[in-house]
Amino acid sequence: MKKVVLCFGHTDFVRGPAMEVLYEEMYKELGTALADLGVALHGARVSGYLGGNKFAEGSVFQNGQFTLLHEPFEADVILPKSSAFYADSNARVINPKSFELLFNDKMYMAARFPHLFPRTIMASNMAQLGTALQRIPGERIVMKPVSDYGGAGVVIDRKENIAEQASLFPVIVQSFVDTSKGIPGITHSVSDLRIIVTGIGKEYQILLMYYREPAPGLLVSNFARGGSIVMMTPAQWPAGAVSLVEEVEKEFHAYGARNYCIDCACDANGKWFMYEVNVPPGEMLREECGSQADRYTQGMVDLFLKA
């Protein structure tokens, strides 16, 4: 039986590999779908990594539940869920560290795809921030931490108000993408898109695409900041957003098995921009996926089977 393992930084093995009770049912659904195909889903801690694809302990999904494993086991493939995981050269990994480090480097990605990102500058101190604000056009500016997620620390404000809100350096400064006209044919107000992708070699698949709308009075649309999400069917996917994935895949298909997300938006002139990419994507609950829940689960199963 093939064994796949999700490797977390902190894991409650009594509940299985879920960091929060919120995701427990989602992991059970994935475990059931894999078990039906003769694949066993495991959970493990970074601290229990023994090299190669071996772990000192963990959990395994069987008979509809996660059961503790108090002995070493070896998996066929690892999907790291923590940036603290560093595999050795003998490991078989989805999202290898070389891919993860490049993909999560905001400045690298902005430099790699300058035609797809808003103008992006890093500032390491207040003086550099002042220079960046002068160089980036527009009345509004986006300022964000170098490494964070869920919209934490993101500031969108008028240019003259940005410096007084900078407390920790370095920061990323970006030109503001005006999404007030929404997504053509889909929305008519401020909104953006998240795209979740899997791939192996030159083959890739868009698992999900959904648009996000910010809470009233805000411009940051992340769910963690009060935004709402609406799942889209493949027939609704904007061609401009799909083309962003095509551009990324041309550059990164050589990195093997991968699972990532792209945050993007269409400006008032109809041009599509990426402004954030992340490895790995956050988990998606069945109720969030709606009619696309089975598509999402099957896409993750296919990734594990082929990796």
DSSP conformation letters of the chain: -EEEEEEESS--TTT-S-SSGGGHHHHHHHHHHHHTTTEEEEEEEGGGEEETTEESSEEEEETTEEEEE-S-EE-SEEEE-STT----TT--BSS-HHHHHHHT-HHHHHHH-TTTS--EEEESSHHHHHHHHHHS-SSEEEEEESS--TTTT-EEEEHHHHGGG--SSSEEEEE----TT-STTT-SSS-EEEEEEEEETTEEEEEEEEEEEPPTT-S---GGGT-EEEE--GGG--HHHHHHHHHHHHHHGGG-SEEEEEEEEE-TTS-EEEEEEESSPPP--HHHHGGGHHHHHHHHHHHHHH-
Retrieve residue 227's tokens: 């935004």
Q: Residue 178 in contact with residue 197, Cβ under 8 Å?
A: no
119-175: CATH number: 3.30.1490.20
Task: Report the CATH architecture of 101-106+179-306.
Answer: 2-Layer Sandwich (3.30)
Q: Are 200 and 170 in contact (CB under 8 A)?
A: no
Residue extent(s) of CATH 3.30.1490.20 domains in the chain? 119-175
| pLDDT attached to residue 19 | 44
Q: Which of 296, 299, 275, 276 is nearest to 286 (CA)?
A: 296
Q: Which whole number is the average pLDDT over 87-107?
A: 95
Q: Which residues pair with 144 in a beta bridge?
A: 172
Task: Examine the pLDDT at 12 and tell me if it is beyond 60.
Answer: no
**259 or 276: whose pLDDT is higher?**
259
- Tens digit of pLDDT for each residue in 109-142? 999 999 999 999 999 999 999 999 999 999 999 9
Residues 221 and 227: beta-carbon distance below 8 Å: yes
192-234 pLDDT per residue, tens: 999 999 999 999 999 999 999 876 655 555 545 456 789 999 9
- In angstroms, how far is CA 70 from the centroid of its own chain? 31
**Alpha-carbon separation of residue 61 from 40, 137, 156, 206 (angstroms):** 6, 53, 43, 27
Decide the pairing of beta strands 203-213 and 2-8.
unpaired
Average the pLDDT over 51-55 and give the result. Answer: 98
pLDDT of res. 14: 46
Q: Where do you find CATH 3.30.470.20 in the chain?
A: 101-106+179-306
Q: Say whether pLDDT at 50 is over 70.
A: yes
Separation in Å, CA 307 to CA 54, 96, 118, 127: 17, 12, 33, 47
User: Which pLDDT score is estimated for 18?
Assistant: 46
**With 50 as the cut, is the pLDDT of residue 100 above it?**
yes
Q: 283 vs 303, which has greater pLDDT?
A: 303
Half-sphere exposure of residue 89: CA atoms within 13 angstroms, side-chain side: 0
Q: What is the C-alpha separation between 96 and 90, in angstroms, rounded? A: 12
Average pLDDT over residues 23-48: 92
Tokens of 253: 């298909």
Share of the chain above pLDDT 90, in %: 77
Query: pLDDT averaged over the chain?
Result: 90
